[in-house]
Amino acid sequence: MSIARSAPPINIRGIAKRFGSVPVLSDLDLDVAPGEFLTLLGPSGSGKTTLLMILAGFVRANAGSIGIGGEEVITKPPHKRNIGMVFQNYALFPHMNVFHNIAFPLKQRRTSAAETAERVEKVLDLVQLQGLADRRVDQLSGGQRQRVALARAIVFEPRIVLMDEPLSALDKGLREHMQIELRSLHRRLGMTTVYVTHDQREAITMSDRIAVMNKGRIEQLDRPETLYASPRTRFVAGFIGESNFIPVECRDGSVWYAGKKVHTASPLPSSGRHWLVVRPEKVRLVADAGLAADAGLVANANMLDATVRDIVYQGDSFICYANLADDQQIALRDYCRSDVLARLPIAGQPVRLRVDAQDAILVADET
């Protein structure tokens, strides 16, 4: 099985969809590169599933164009699109066994019995379900059903594979295992994949690129590292990973917080209110002034005075919640190494926090 040779790009232009008078998608553009694993990430109601349904042909858009490998498919019925799809609840046919489920798309394509048997066996190998062809669907575990659904979606070597939160029904351990497996399967087969999830960790683990969706628009489309390191909006920063939001003001070509100049690596806007985004693991505890003696670092770092409010122990790490001078809350996360634990402050203790300039990200205030 190799799909890579023929993997086409997807070019989405100006897709709009309203349900009644409620706009779900508005003028959406998106390009998926050949063989790319692209994830649509967003909260429920952000329009990500609707976009997937429009791609598959189950929902008719109000306007727009979908090109698959240069061919316009927006008015094509679903059964002629040749797109594989893995459904959230798998949608395995309960009246057929594993073999007939996987053979279903081949049967529709009038594949000979011999070739069907061969291809089903091959794909069962690929998803590591050898010998389960005769099982009934209700005799399978959640993980096995997931694999059958995947096998059924790729057995006919579709040009594109869509996945609608395929792992959400699995428990945590299995879900993480399947994430790695899906990713390596994608690497081997190289099909253009559009994946929908609301789980940001899953998106970061699996994707080549992530399109963060909010209110029917794509807020940011970037590689996972870029999304995490430099979110462009407050929504993206809040949705991907944990974040502290500190209100700051921009004037005279500088950023100001509580009367102090803020060091940031972000490009400086001219003026107005902004948010400073700081990831909890980028905040460091500075126990006493002596330890911050590294003058080179201190020069380009922000020092903040705070009072510890609470410390939450989480086994591998801890979160320290602290209040800045103006009661602005800030969270700090660190691993429970013995040297860190030895110097752990207690609630009510004044501490000094350090945030390096490259870890202080400036985003616009949208409200």
Partner 1 sequence: MSVRPAEFVSRGVNADALKADARRESLGLLGLCSPGLALVGIIIVLPIGWLFWLSLFDETGQLSGANYARFVEQASYIRTFLTTFEVAFIVTGLCVLIGYPLAYMLSQLPRRAASICLIFVVLPFWTSVLVRTYAWLVILQRKGLVNNWLIDLGLISQPLPLAHNFAGVIIGMTHILLPFLVLPLYASMKAIDADYLRAAMNLGAPPTATFWQVFFPLSLPGLAAGVVIVFILCLGFFVTPALMGGGKVIMWAMRMEQTTSLYSNWGAGSALGVVLLAVTLGLLGLFRRLLGTRAASVWGSQ
Cβ contact 274:366 at 8 Å? no
What's the maximum distance between 2 C-alpha atoms anywhere in the chain? Answer: 78
Q: Does 8 bind partner 1 (CB under 8 A)?
A: no
* Among 16, 91, 117, 174, contact with partner 1 (rule: CB under 8 A): 91
Q: Exposed/middle/buried for 76, CB within 10 Å: 0-12, 13-18, 19+?
A: middle
Residue 66's contacts (CB-CB under 8 Å, 6 or more residues apart) are: 10, 11, 12, 13, 15, 54, 55, 72, 73, 74
* Among 93, 256, 313, 335, contact with partner 1 (rule: CB under 8 A): 93
**Closest distance of CB 83 from partner 1, Å:** 7
Residue 129 is which amino acid?
L
Q: Does 75 bind partner 1 (CB under 8 A)?
A: no
Site string for partner 1, 144-163 (x = CB under 8 A): --------xx--x-------
Is the CB of 7 or the CB of 92 nearer to partner 1? 92
Find the binding residues for partner 1 in span 100-139 (CB under 8 A). Answer: 100, 104-105, 108-109, 136, 138
**Closest distance of CB 86 from partner 1, Å:** 9
SS3 letters across 89-153: CCCCCCCCEHHHHHHHHHHHCCCCHHHHHHHHHHHHHHCCCCCCCCCEHHHCCHHHHHHHHHHHH
**Closest distance of CB 59 from partner 1, Å:** 10
Closest CA relative to residue 162, chosen from 23, 290, 250, 66: 66
Site string for partner 1, 201-230 (x = CB under 8 A): ------------------------------
**Closest distance of CB 366 from partner 1, Å:** 36
* Among 56, 140, 167, 191, contact with partner 1 (rule: CB under 8 A): 56
Residues that bind partner 1 (rule: CB under 8 A) add up to a total of 32
How far apart CA 245 and CA 290 sit, in angstroms, is: 28
Is the CB of 77 or the CB of 253 nearer to partner 1? 77
User: Which DSSP letter does residue 35 get?
Assistant: T
Q: Which two tokens stand for residue 202?
A: 């899953």
**Closest distance of CB 19 from partner 1, Å:** 13
Determine the interface stretch with partner 1 among 52-60, 62-70, 176-184, 354-362 (rule: CB under 8 A): 52-60
Q: Does 82 bind partner 1 (CB under 8 A)?
A: yes
Is the CB of 77 or the CB of 315 nearer to partner 1? 77
Residue 279: CA count within 13 A, CB half-sphere: 17
| H or E element at residue 219 | strand 217-222
Closest CA relative to residue 157, chosen from 359, 270, 349, 2: 2
**Closest distance of CB 17 from partner 1, Å:** 17
The dihedrals phi and psi of 53, each to the nearest 5 degrees, come to: -65, -35
Positions in the binding site for partner 1 (CB under 8 A): 56-58, 77-85, 87-89, 91-97, 100, 104-105, 108-109, 136, 138, 152-153, 156
